[in-house]
Amino acid sequence: MIIKPLVTPSLKIKSDTNKVCQYDMITFTAYNIVNGGANPILQWKVNGINVPATGITYASPYFNNGDIVTCQLTSTADCPSPMIVTSKPD
């Protein structure tokens, strides 16, 4: 029997700008994905609600002051603990 160690998934996100005008396109990118596995699953969220974006980036011109953008990673690595983690907001 081979016992594999638990691994801890994590990720960070960043936006391409911090100061924008209303309806300017803002792009967020997930980076530093650790222990995501060969095919990590990313789900972007605005204010805790899923948006139709599941890739390494998420872009939209429809943000409001105070919106909180995060990215949820579901790891496909062997033995992730936990399997699902969420980035800190940017």
Question: Residues 18-71: pLDDT tens digits?
Answer: 777 889 999 999 999 999 999 999 999 999 999 998 999 999 999 999 999 999
| Average pLDDT over every residue of 3-19 | 93
For residue 39, what pLDDT is reported? 95
Closest to 12 (Cα-Cα) out of 36, 39, 30:
30
**Model confidence, pTM:** 0.92
49-66 burial string, b = 16+ CB within 10 Å, else e? eeeebeeeebebeebeee
Q: How far apart are CA 32 and CA 52, in angstroms?
A: 22
For residue 4, what pLDDT is reported? 92
Residue 1 reports pLDDT greater than 80: yes
Two tokens, residue 56: 């390494």
